[in-house]
Amino acid sequence: MTTSSLMSRRTFMTVSAMGALAGPAVAEMAEGPQVQTRRGVKPVVVSSRNGNKSKDAAGLTCITKAFHLLTTGTDVLDAVIAGVNIIELDPNDDSVGYGGLPNADGVVQLDAAVMHGPSKRAGAVACLEGVRTPSLVAKKVMEETDHHLLVARDAQRFAHDMGFKIEHDLNTERSRRLWQEWKRRAGRSPFLKASNRSASWREARQAMVSEGLIDPEHLHGTVHCAAVNAKGEVAAVTSTSGLAWKVPGRVGDSPILGAGLYVDGEVGAAGSTGHGEASMMSLGAFLIVEMMRGGMAPKDAGMVAMKRVVASTVDKRLLNSRGTPNFNLRYYALNTKGDFAGLSLYESSENGKRTEFAVCTDDGPRFVSAEFLLPGMAGD
């Protein structure tokens, strides 16, 4: 981990102090969080790397806002959702929420899930159109229904009934332009046989990545954020626009409990970003929490999940020349003691840089190199 990859505590406090100019609420944050510790747990927020990129009007990223809120009395789930909303509303992040890369028909369909450790409740939405903040709709599913998951038009109708604004199109000029370019290059129906579709779509995607048109980490998109407060209470949220130019109606792992995320208030939380189908096949988030229940540290539990992904990936179209998965997958694990880990199937992301995740503690926000199972990159 290099010095340039970290945001120092001094920088964190400087951003907080500058935010004080925006109003009393931000000024209160600049004075420092007041934490009432009951169990000696050090609060921490863990997220995918994009959780420390997009900023709100006060200059706060997802993890810094979530950390401030949970250390000043806000419910742990409300804190992480408020952080994720920053990314969902950022038109420059084309992997989540507004401006997320659309499906093969050019329609932005969003998935999200939330889990609340203290109440042992959860909610999720899938294929939701027209609402920029699907994580908030997922929370309403948790609070207002007896169910865990609502989908498509009925999820949208529910959101409307809950008072959410429904927009005709969540594309930005950029996301629409990228879709049009992909469509021109792919030039085939999304309902071809898997072998033909895989070759056509992957070729078009990778060409656009190679030309710098798309962030390679945004092909599968997603933000995951989890936190534990000073009382040892845990919650998590995952939100995504899904695989870029996916088959319309495709649902990935993000809204699936046990795959995209899993929380047990007595144990901890885990979530994933990356290749959603692999995450669903292995139910890695659930597996990690169960391994932690048995006494494993977050890092070791995550490695168990990664090894299961490798063992269950046997389809030739999903293997590289080394016989290992030709995709990357990342897990984030956190227990109720405040121990955490970020893990990656491969050492490096598709851009060749060491895989990282984001963390915020009382030392401030920072990027941390993820533990990895396999050297190199998925495409090697």
Q: Is residue 191 over pLDDT 70?
A: no
CA angle 74, 76, 78 (to 5 degrees): 70
CA–CA separation, 260 vs 112, rounded Å? 9
pLDDT confidence tier of residue 187, bands split at 50, 70 and 90: low
Q: What is the pTM of this model?
A: 0.86
Do β-strands 340-346 and 371-374 pair in parallel, antiparallel, or remain unpaired? parallel
Structure confidence at residue 167 (pLDDT): 98
Decide: 218 and 95 in contact? Cβ < 8 Å.
yes
Structure confidence at residue 34 (pLDDT): 40
pLDDT confidence tier of residue 188, bands split at 50, 70 and 90: low
Alpha-carbon Rg for the chain in angstroms: 20
CA angle 315, 248, 252 (to 5 degrees): 50
What amino acid occupies position 191?
Answer: F
Structure-derived torsion over alpha carbons of residues 80, 83, 88, 91, reported in degrees to the nearest 10: -170
From 68, 75, 30, 66, select the one nearest 48 (Cα to Cα).
66
Q: If you ran DSSP here, which 8-state letter would residue 4 be given?
A: G
Report, as residue numbers or ranges, the catalytic residues.
222
Q: Is residue 208 over pLDDT 80?
A: no
Give the Cβ contact number of residue 59 at 10 Å: 15
Q: If you ran DSSP here, which 8-state letter would residue 289 be given?
A: H
What amino acid occupies position 371?
Answer: E
